[in-house]
């Protein structure tokens, strides 16, 4: 089983990203589950969402404590909380950041990739200048960085699950797939 933890802030789309990732994995014939963990339910508050994937049915129904991979939708969380808690060795950390992976020396023992999902979201008019919605941007980058799920499955999931700005979200997925930095 592979487990993914997504860190974000309310309004960035972490919960929806988790769901779209699960849908994409399901489309590739895998078993998947996604679920959120909320603290204070308000815009800007830290949010954690989880996705599990396996080739067989998943019976486990608890929070993920030792993820294989991380997605971080807000780079300010890197210093605010221990995002790496429980992360397995050789796990990927995908950061929404305009910095390069080597700019995070505190994460040196993990594989780090970055993508400027904020810029991509804004270019495609997803959210506002102060609150870009980066969930679809981060998924395209995750597909390329980890190879866990194909780009086509992500595009299909976004097409099915996103109710508004469908074309803009699809373009954000494609752009982030191309612009992720390893």
Distance CA 69, CA 121 (A): 22
Asked if 30 and 62 touch (Cβ cutoff 8 Å), the reply is no
pLDDT confidence of residue 11: 84
Walk me through the domains of the chain, giving residue ranges and CATH numbers.
Answer: 2-179 (3.40.920.10)
Give me the long-range contacts of 91-97 (CB less than 8 A, separation at least 24): 91/67, 92/68, 92/145, 92/146, 93/69, 94/69, 94/70, 94/138, 94/141, 94/142, 94/145, 94/146, 94/180, 96/72, 96/134, 96/137, 96/138
pTM: 0.94
pLDDT in tens, 115-138: 999 999 999 999 999 999 999 999
* pLDDT tens column, 65-85: 999 999 999 999 998 888 999
């Amino acid at each position: 089983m592979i487990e993914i933890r997504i860190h974000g802030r309310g309004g960035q789309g972490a919960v929806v990203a988790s769901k779209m990732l699960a849908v994409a994995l399901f489309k590739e014939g895998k078993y998947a589950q996604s679920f959120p963990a909320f603290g204070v339910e308000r815009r800007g508050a830290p949010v954690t969402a989880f996705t599990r994937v396996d080739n067989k049915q998943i019976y486990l129904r608890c929070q993920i404590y030792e993820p294989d991979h991380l997605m971080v939708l807000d780079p300010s969380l890197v210093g605010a909380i221990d995002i790496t808690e429980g992360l397995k060795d050789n796990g990927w950390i995908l950061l929404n950041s305009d910095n390069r992976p080597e700019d995070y020396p505190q994460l040196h023992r993990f594989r780090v990739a970055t993508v400027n999902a904020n810029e991509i979201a804004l270019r495609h008019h997803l959210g506002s200048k102060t609150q870009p919605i980066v969930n679809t941007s981060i998924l395209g980058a995750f597909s390329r960085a980890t190879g866990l799920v194909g780009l086509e499955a992500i595009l299909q999931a976004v097409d099915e699950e996103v109710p508004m700005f469908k074309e803009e979200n699809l373009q954000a997925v494609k752009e982030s797939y191309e612009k992720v930095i390893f």
